[in-house]
Amino acid sequence: MSYCVNCGVELRESEKSCPLCKLEVVNPINPYSPESIPAYPPNMDYLAVMMNRRLSSIMILILIYMPAAICIVCDFVLNGTLTWSRLVIGASIVLSIFVSPYFLYRKIPVVIPVFIDTFVILAYLYYLEGITPKSGWFWPIAFPVIFVLSFLVGVMSLVFQYTKIATLYISALLMLCCGIMLIVLEITTDYYSHGEIHLGWSAISFIPLILLAGLYVIVERKRSMKSSIKKKLHI
Ligand SMILES: [Zn+2]
């Protein structure tokens, strides 16, 4: 019996490389033997995982669409046509598209579901504006706010998926995104209600957020500098 020199996992003769860290097994006393009984079955149990995912997907869809179905029946019985239940149907569609990456789990870039979700939310809000009495809020408020929010979420998701930046840098980026979002909110609401833009509360909130983000960056830079000096000096 041999053990992995890297991670200490127990190895069988049938193993050419460590099952945990994938380090090649080189043991002159107990060499690799392709005829020996394999330690694991040849196929991994993907089927059970797929079945569980399918079952839970059906359960989630039932949970989303069951209230919508009840609303449709109630609305139809009370009003003889579909009135307010159309809002619930729209919200259920949006929600099911939101959770759809879970059903169709593939290794796709996170930015694709973010893009689809943005489109669906905007379409729902546009529809909502069309059927509610108070209109004129979609283009000046809903569109820019959702667009900027989705852009920032897309950037953050790309950073999470493709980079390995330190937690404090992520926190700094999050602070910056929050600051931008507050400014966009004030600009859009100001323009919608008064027709002109005066930055007030968002600018006041933006300054401490930026200072906090800067502080995170400084702390992280100092920490990484410290650790690189320690490595160089072999402390
Ligand atoms: Zn190993």
Question: Does position 31 have pLDDT exceeding 80, yes or no?
Answer: no
pLDDT band at 38 (very low <50, low <70, confident <90, very high): confident
Cα(19) to ligand 1 centroid in Å equals 7
Tell me if 63 is assigned to some domain.
no
pLDDT of residue 112: 87
Residues 74-82: contacts with CB under 8 Å, at least 24 apart: none
Sign of CA dihedral 19, 24, 28, 31: positive
Cα(33) to ligand 1 centroid in Å equals 18
233: number of CA atoms within 13 Å, CB side? 7
Give how many domains the chain has, as a whole number. Answer: 2
pLDDT band at 51 (very low <50, low <70, confident <90, very high): low
The number of angstroms, rounded, from the C-alpha of 144 to the middle of its chain's C-alpha atoms is 21
Q: Which of 21, 89, 95 is nearest to 60 (CA)?
A: 95
**pTM score of the predicted model:** 0.70
Q: What is the spatial distance between Cα 160 and Cα 6, in angstroms, rounded to a whole number?
A: 29
Cα(16) to ligand 1 centroid in Å equals 11
Q: Which of 229, 231, 180, 228 is nearest to 206 (CA)?
A: 180
Tell me if 28 is assigned to some domain.
yes
Tell me if 116 is assigned to some domain.
no
Of 7-11, 23-27, 31-35, 58-62, give the lowest mean pLDDT range. Answer: 31-35
Domain that includes residue 171, residue range: 165-235
Cα(32) to ligand 1 centroid in Å equals 15
Cα(107) to ligand 1 centroid in Å equals 26
Other CB atoms within 10 Å distance of the CB of residue 107 = 4
pLDDT band at 184 (very low <50, low <70, confident <90, very high): very high
pLDDT band at 46 (very low <50, low <70, confident <90, very high): low
Tell me if 114 is assigned to some domain.
no
DSSP assignment of 80-112 equals: SS-STHHHHHHHHHHHHHHHHHHHT-----THH
Tell me if 191 is assigned to some domain.
yes
Cα(27) to ligand 1 centroid in Å equals 13
Cα(203) to ligand 1 centroid in Å equals 53
CB neighbour list of residue 227: distance below 8 Å, 6 or more residues apart: none
Tell me if 106 is assigned to some domain.
no
The overall average pLDDT reported for the chain is 87
Cα(11) to ligand 1 centroid in Å equals 9
Per the model's pLDDT, the better-predicted residue between 102 and 2 turns out to be 2
Note whether 71 and 88 are within 8 A (CB): yes
Tell me if 9 is assigned to some domain.
yes
Tell me if 204 is assigned to some domain.
yes
Cα(96) to ligand 1 centroid in Å equals 42
Q: What is the pLDDT of residues 193-212, one digit of tens each?
A: 888 888 899 999 999 999 99
pLDDT of residue 228: 76
Cα(6) to ligand 1 centroid in Å equals 5
